Amino acid sequence: MDKLTKAEEQIMHLIWKHGATTVSELIKKMPTPHPPHSTVSSLFRKLEKKGYLDYKAYGRTYEYFPIITKKAYSRFSLSGLIKNYFSGSLNEMVSFLVEENDLSLEDLAEITKSIEQKKNK
């Protein structure tokens, strides 16, 4: 799986949220000022080449849909973050979040509870 640029990632988040769409339909759902049609169309083609999107053609209209799920991309992105910033250690990442007060003790307790539930299944 290839890493996405910020612009490609923004497009994918919109597609994951709204589902199959044409370039014109997606542009209408984007915040104003809307980007040019040619720019968004170019991003769709890049995402298709990277294997994130596929399309169905209806005459000259192309309806694009995701073939990579948001969950799969999230897993890919998170593993890259852990590898690149925390020496591949999930423990280092959690320790960092606790030290930076981004993860409270309540959050940690919830995570532990969730782990225990999955272990018991």
The percentage of the chain sitting over the pLDDT mark of 90, rounded to a whole number, equals 74
Please give the mean pLDDT across all residues of the chain: 93
**Of the listed ranges 49-63, 78-92, 100-114, the one predicted with least confidence:** 100-114
pTM for the predicted model, two decimal places = 0.82
pLDDT of amino acid 82? 92
Place of tokens 């852990």: 82
Query: Which residues make beta-bridge pairs with 56?
Result: 63
| Strongest mean pLDDT among 20-29, 90-99, 103-112 | 20-29
Report whether pLDDT(81) > 80. Answer: yes
**For residue 58, which phi and psi values (nearest 5 degrees)?**
-125, 90
Q: What are the structural domains of the chain?
A: 6-66 (1.10.10.10), 86-120 (no CATH)
**For residue 70, which phi and psi values (nearest 5 degrees)?**
-60, -40
Q: Is the dihedral of CA 72, 102, 6, 62 positive or negative?
A: positive
